[in-house]
Structure formats: structure tokens, C-alpha cells
Structure 1
Amino acid sequence: MAYGYTFAGLMLLWPLLALLGTQGFAPLVGLTGIAALILARPKWPPALYAVAFLIFIAWAAASEFWSPAARQIITGNLMEGTFAIGARSLIIVMTALFGVLTLAAAARTDMSPRAQALIWIAFALHGAIALASGFISGPFIEAVYGTEPQDTVAGIQNVNRNINAFGLVLPLVAAALAHRFGLKGTLAAAVLTALMVVAAIRVDTQAGVLCVAGMIGGFALAQVLPRNAYRALFGLAAAYVLFAPAVMMGLIRSLDGVSRSLPDSFQSRLWSWEAAIGHIREAPLLGHGLGASRTWRETFAAHPEKLAELAPNWAYYPVIPGHPHNMPLHLWAETGLVGALLAAAALVLLAIRLPAPSSLRADVRFAIAGVAGASFSLFSFAYSVWNEAFWAGLALIAAVLVLFARRAAKG
């Protein structure tokens, strides 16, 4: 109970951190992980899927040794205010460890109704802020971030991340409304989902729209496959990771005939994936090392045949803008076949470990499937595979699902 109240109290920070662009989710999972060590004493040894996941993280961290983007572990001076953690590997390892500790503690914790109510308050506030910022994004950004161009760009990015993060919360809210209030709740969930789509379109975050599509797909699979939906979801995810270069190249080739009619942003994304696959071929076994994609700064000016299909202002835009915006390809490019095998193994073991959906209460059953579907959409189109804010937020939502499932099982 102590950890349940502590976790719920910390989750009250969730809407504020989402409003600020979600970057604070990583420190938040650090706090929940530390609290887990003190209050919940997670079981040892960890589950097999967690061991496989940590081995993958260790491999990814080790790959920084041969990466052209490798940095010193710690830079700057704390007293002078220039202290920073330079090594991405350390950030990734710490986020993974705290996330695993949080989930392990949730699996041993009973949550009271009051603690559960605090989490619902946090998610309700997040929803209200995310949707409002989407519908009044112009005045909202000006009021919060000012009118300087660089501040406006940062504001737009934070609004987009905020809405995308609510895309991971929406499955819990929608499933709970439908379960608790029947037809009226289902209608309310549909209206909320429609508002999410409109807000995402208004701020031009296609990832937010695809998040909703993934959620609906997850819901449908849980309905059609009441015993094996989770195994299907995570098994497909494992196959996707393992065969990502072939899958994505097939997608690119299938769109050749219509590529000229696609928006410039989507066309450039296809070329980014194609370029990433080219880098994968250069180091297929071990990859180029953690963070290597940040050093691939070739612009469209070097590809006049591609630039001819884009607006002139794309000339100095990188073909791979920091990362490929597809996590499986990014994982392959930087950690190679070894990393893909380890990640796929962790997903397969997780699929085996998860209970049958039909054994869970309806709201929990559909929420898990919806969150999985929504996260797979973001996994494919949005963030860097090493984005600690995304993974920290997903770990916290997964911990909420575990806590809610335990609460539902006890009636």
C-alpha cells in the first residue's frame, strides 16, 4: 500500500511534465524506481523477459564503444553549472533499470481506491491540457512560450509530444469509460477519441492520429482473439523488429507508384528509411554503434533527383534528420542483427508471460491491448529508439496497468 500511494502521488506530476514536453518523464521514472527499492523490494531474480531486455540494453550501451558519436561519460563542472551526462549509454541504462524496478514493484503492490483515484485525476488533467493545447495551439504557444521563433518551434514540438503522450493514456481512459458506464461511456470514449484525432490534425502530428489507429487495432484484436491477442500483438512486434529492413523496404517499393502524390514530409520519411537501410547494409551484424545516426548529416542537396520532387527549401534538410523515425530500423542501424535478435527475444518472452486477455476484467483487457497498439504506432513513425522520455512514459503507463489489473483481480 505504501508504494501504491507513493507511486500515485508522484504520478500527479504527470500532467505538468506532459505539458512541458514529456522530457521530465525520465526523471519521474527515476523517482518511482528509487521508491520501489525503498518501499516495495522487488523480487529477485527478475522475470526472464526482463533479463532479456536488460541484456539488450547492455548490448546497446556497449555499442557506444565503436560509435562515431561516442562521448565522454561525464562532462563539465557541477559547481560551474556545466555538468552533463555525455554518454547516451548511461542515460539509457539508468532509464531501463528504473523502469524495470518500477514495473517489478507494481507487480507486488496493492493499490487502494484513493491511490487509484489520484492517477485518474492526473490522466484527466493531462487529457484536458493536451486537447485544449491542440484546439487553441496558437494562443497557447504564444502564452506559454512567447513569440520568439526558436521558442515557438520548441512550443510546437512540446504540444505535439504532449498530444502523442495522451495517445498512450487514451486507451486506459476509453476502456474505463466503456466498462463503467456502458453505452453512454462507450459514446463518451468515442467522442474523446474523435477530439484526440482533431487535436492531432490541428497541430499536424500524424503520429497522434496513427496512435489512435493503433489503439483501435489493439481493441479489435482483443475482441477477436480473447485468448491470444497479447501473444499476437507482441509476437508480431518481435517479427517486425527482426525483419524490419525487409519489411520497410517492401513498404517503400509498394509506394513507388504513388510517392509523387504524397506530402513532402511523408516522401522525405520514405527516403530517410531507405537511407537507413543503406547504412544497415554497411554494418549488418554489429551495427554502427549507439548514436551513430546523429553523424549522418547528408542533405537533400546531395541528391538532386530527390530534391526535384520537393520544395526548394528542403535542399539543406538532412535525409536522416538525427534518426530514421522508425525504431526497428534505428535499432538495426546502430546495434545490428545482434541487437535485433535480443530485442525480439525480449518481446517473445513477454508475449509468453502475459496472461490471456479473457482472464482479465474487460477494462484492463482492452486497455493493455490499446496501449500496445498505440505504442507500436509511435514505435514506427515518431521517436528515436533511444528516446528515454518515451520509454519512461511507457514504463509508467505499464506500471499503472499492472496496478489496475491487480486491483481489478481483487474486486
Structure 2
Amino acid sequence: MIAIPSLALNRLGDAPSDGSDRRTPWLSGVAVFVAVMTPLLAYIAPLGFAPLLALTGLLVLPGLRLTRAAAPPLLILVAMAVWAAISLSWSPAAIDVSKLKGYDDLETLTAMKLFLQVATYGAAVVGLRGLSDAGARRAATVLAYGVVALSVVAALDSLSGATIYQKLHLATGEAIRPDLAMVKVSLSTYILALLFWPAALILSRLSRRGLIGLLVLATVVTSKVCSSDACLVALAAGGAIWAMVYLAGRNGAKVLVGLVAAPFVLAPLAVLIAVETGFVAWLHRMVPASWDMRLNIWTFAADHIQSHPFRGWGLDASRTFGPGIPLHTHNAQLQLWLELGAIGAALAGVFFCWLAYGVVRLSERSRAEAAMAAGALVSYLVIGGLSFGVWQEWWLALGALTLIACRLARAVPRSEWTDLDEIAQQG
């Protein structure tokens, strides 16, 4: 259910080999539409990414061609949705369907939404694989410049105390408190952290490296001013993995697979060991209040995972533990273990490892593209491991969007002086 980029793009998000010889005006229009809407939604209404990706999936349905190559990841996600639905039979958060009346009630049905998201978000990713290279290049260019513009506006607004956002909000007829406006601006940093990697590759191949520096500076400034610590960690981790894959090629990509798998296997055990050894107690004395709260939630979740380690407590059970877990665990792996048990964690781990293994294969063709995919994948996992609930629609939609963005970036031709793949391969 969590969607993310990687080379699996070869299988899930690539265009056919003859993409440059075909005309796909409808898909090109859809791709450009998504590219234009991305920076606008990122700044004004990030939650709108859920309907945007759902709409994209519906728009590409007429020409959708589901191949055997795209089947494995989709089947994994369907299996995960089925297991989540089954877990409702023992979940304390299960809802009596007979009492549902209006649309607001249907919004509470997480299991139903998971199936719809697999269908629509999956259609968006797979459908746009049929985009011609020419169409993908146009959309990629629009996306890259849009991401840079977003980073600059977000940085300037954060430094001004979100005055721009407040004025835009006031134009709708409602005022918003300055502190809440800053929170809204901070949400754009998560989109920037994910799309930085494909945008940077696009700009590099367009010989616009100066804009990459501006993108880095603006994103870091906004994250720092808005206290988006998870984004700073994601950028740092993504950068380290980017360098590892770019410099070490296939060997570095193989290490990535292990790094991706480890949290899905070891997260509860790691927390319990950290508690027993006193490491968590030491961290409590060192970290600020927001991270102190996370430590308490993670400890609580790891302890309760032991009660039902195989089947979990059931879908959405995280919402039923009161003050012990406010809404969710702020860690994707722990939430999967807590709600869906080892089975759910294993399915999610297999999905992400499938994506990571795609980076291994992609590194044989282009280290720059593999490094981009690796950086985006790790950034998504890091943010998901620190900030959001697993089942949040807009966050899942951002995973699908990042997959699409990586596909668009790969369609931009390499310029002779920016492409160092051959040199890196020889080294």
C-alpha cells in the first residue's frame, strides 16, 4: 500500500522501448497536468495529492495495458490490502458497516480505501508507463522547474512567517493563525524531500546545475525554519545512499536492499533492545520534546506488538490505544507490526525490497538514474519512519507520484558533459 520509486521503474514505471517513436497526446497532457498541479498542491493543499493521483489513474484507464512485469508489485499490494481487511475481524477499531450512512462515514473505512488506492494509484503509475519519451521529457521539464519554484516560494514564505500563505488563505474568506500557517508551509518540505532526486537529475541533464544548488538551499532553509526535522534527516540519508549507489554501482545497490529490508524485520526487536540496554533512556535526556514523544510511542508500540506478533492487533488498532499512541505510531514499520503483525510487515518489506532490487538492475544501465531512485526510496522510507501514519491517503499518493517523477526524469536525454556514468563505470 505504500508506494515508492526505484528501478522497479524498469518494470512498473518505464515506457516501452519504442516510446520515442510513438505519439501519446492524451497521456502527455495528463502527465503535464500532474506536473503543473504538483507544486501548486504541495504549497496550497498537500492533502489534494490523494484525489490528484486517483484522478490521474482514472484518466489513463482508456489506454491502460497491464503487463506481466507490472503484476508482481501490484499483487503484493493487493495481498496486503486483503490481509488488512481480514484483520478487521479482530481489530478493536472495526466499524459496524450497518451503521454507516453518509460519505463521512465511508471515509472511515480504511480497508475499502486501500483497495481503491491500489486500483487508482496503481493505474496512474502503470498507465503513464505508456507515455512517449517526448511527452515524458516535456512533463519532466515542467515538473523540475515547478519544484524549484516551489522551493523558493516555500523558503521565502517560511522566512517571512508564512505571510504569503496567510494572505492566500484570507483571500478565500477565512483567516488562519500564523503558527498554523507555518505548519501548512512545512508540509511542502516533505514533497520537496521526495521530488528533489528526480528534479535534480532532470536539471542536471538540462544543464541547469545552478538550479540544483538553489533547490538544495531553499529546501534546507524551509525545513530548518519550519522545524521539519524528518525532511532534513531524509535528505541527509538520501544523499548518503545516493553517493553510495553512484560511486559503488551494483555493489552499493545490493547493500541498499539489505538496508531497506532490515527495519521491516528488526524494528520491534531494535526498540526493545534499546529499552533494555538503557539507550532509549539516554535518548530521552538528549532529544527535544517532539522526539521524546516519539520515543514513548515507539516503546509503547514495541511492547504491545509482543501480545500479537504474528497477526497483529488489526487494521487501525493504533487509534484505540488512547494517549499511548496518539493516532498512529509515527513509524511505518512499527505500525505495520502492531496492526498487521509479522504477515503485514513481511508483505510491505517484500514490496520495498522489490523496489530496491530494481535499483540493482538499473545500476547496470545508469548509475545516475539508479542513485536518483535510491535517494527517493530512502527519503520516502525515512519520512515514513518518523512522521506519518501508514494509511494516510496523501502520503501513499506521494509515493505513486515519486514513481512517476522518476520515470519522467529517466526520459530526459543525457547531455555529454553532465553524464559521468561511463567514467564512474570505468572507475
TM-score by length of 1: 0.84
Cα distance change on mapping 1:258 and 1:284 into 2, 3 Å: closer
- Residue 328 of structure 1 corresponds to which residue in structure 2? 333
Q: Deviations over 1:150-202 (max 9, x none)?
A: 75565343222211111111122233334543xx82x6534432332221111
Structure 1 residue runs without a partner (length 5+):
298-317
Q: Deviations over 1:28-47 (max 9, x none)?
A: 11112112221233325743
Cα distance change on mapping 1:125 and 1:75 into 2, 3 Å: farther
Q: How far has the Cα of 1:135 moved from its partner?
A: 2.3
Compare 275-284 and 166-175 and name the one that shifted more. 166-175
Residue type of the alignment partner of 1:195: A
Cα distance change on mapping 1:13 and 1:330 into 2, 3 Å: same
Q: Which residue of 117, 121, 134 corresponds with 2:141?
A: 117
Q: Is the 1:72–1:86 Cα contact (8 Å) retained in structure 2?
A: no
1:15 matched to 2:20? The reply is no
- Residue 347 of structure 1 corresponds to which residue in structure 2? 352
- Residue 157 of structure 1 corresponds to which residue in structure 2? 183
Compare 380-389 and 241-250 and name the one that shifted more. 241-250
Cα distance change on mapping 1:272 and 1:15 into 2, 3 Å: same
Amino-acid identity (%): 24
In 2, distance between residues paired with 1:337 and 1:247?
A: 15
What are the within-5 Å matches in structure 2 for residues 263-282 of structure 1? 263-282=288-307
- Residue 35 of structure 1 corresponds to which residue in structure 2? 59
In 2, distance between residues paired with 1:238 and 1:156?
A: 35
In 2, distance between residues paired with 1:45 and 1:194?
A: 39
Cα distance change on mapping 1:208 and 1:133 into 2, 3 Å: farther
Residue type of the alignment partner of 1:119: L
Q: Is the 2:312–2:338 Cα contact (8 Å) retained in structure 1?
A: yes
Residue type of the alignment partner of 1:369: A
Cα distance change on mapping 1:350 and 1:371 into 2, 3 Å: closer
SS of residue in 2 equivalent to 1:13:
helix
Q: Which residue of 63, 83, 94 corresponds with 1:59?
A: 83
Q: Which residue of 219, 222, 246 corresponds with 1:199?
A: 222
In 2, distance between residues paired with 1:258 and 1:290?
A: 30
SS of residue in 1 equivalent to 2:46:
coil
In 2, distance between residues paired with 1:90 and 1:231?
A: 36
Structure 2 residue runs without a partner (length 5+):
1-23, 417-427
SS of residue in 2 equivalent to 1:47:
helix
In 2, distance between residues paired with 1:379 and 1:274?
A: 17
1:91 matched to 2:96? The reply is no
SS of residue in 2 equivalent to 1:367:
helix
In 2, distance between residues paired with 1:8 and 1:117?
A: 9
In 2, distance between residues paired with 1:276 and 1:166?
A: 30
- Residue 396 of structure 1 corresponds to which residue in structure 2? 401
- Residue 420 of structure 2 corresponds to which residue in structure 1? none
SS of residue in 1 equivalent to 2:391:
coil
What are the within-5 Å matches in structure 2 for residues 160-171 of structure 1? 160-171=186-197
- Residue 260 of structure 2 corresponds to which residue in structure 1? 237
In 2, distance between residues paired with 1:235 and 1:21?
A: 35
Compare 96-105 and 336-345 and name the one that shifted more. 96-105
Q: Is the 1:33–1:101 Cα contact (8 Å) retained in structure 2?
A: yes
Residue type of the alignment partner of 2:404: A
Cα distance change on mapping 1:407 and 1:117 into 2, 3 Å: closer
- Residue 127 of structure 1 corresponds to which residue in structure 2? 151
How many residue pairs match? The answer is: 385
What are the within-5 Å matches in structure 2 for residues 289-308 of structure 1? 289-297=314-322
1:381 matched to 2:379? The reply is no
Compare 205-214 and 136-145 and name the one that shifted more. 136-145
Q: Deviations over 1:286-333 (max 9, x none)?
A: 111111111111xxxxxxxxxxxxxxxxxxxx3422111011001100
- Residue 219 of structure 1 corresponds to which residue in structure 2? 242
- Residue 70 of structure 1 corresponds to which residue in structure 2? 94
Cα distance change on mapping 1:117 and 1:382 into 2, 3 Å: same
Q: Deviations over 1:118-140 (max 9, x none)?
A: 33343334323332333223423
In 2, distance between residues paired with 1:407 and 1:64?
A: 45
- Residue 309 of structure 1 corresponds to which residue in structure 2? none
Q: Deviations over 1:342-388 (max 9, x none)?
A: 22222333333445343344543332122112112102101001112
Cα distance change on mapping 1:231 and 1:63 into 2, 3 Å: farther
Q: How far has the Cα of 1:59 moved from its partner?
A: 1.2
In 2, distance between residues paired with 1:358 and 1:127?
A: 29
Q: Is the 1:53–1:346 Cα contact (8 Å) retained in structure 2?
A: yes
- Residue 105 of structure 1 corresponds to which residue in structure 2? 127
Residue type of the alignment partner of 2:82: A
In 2, distance between residues paired with 1:102 and 1:232?
A: 30
1:260 matched to 2:285? The reply is yes
Q: Is the 1:360–1:405 Cα contact (8 Å) retained in structure 2?
A: no
Q: Deviations over 1:263-289 (max 9, x none)?
A: 122112111100011121121111111
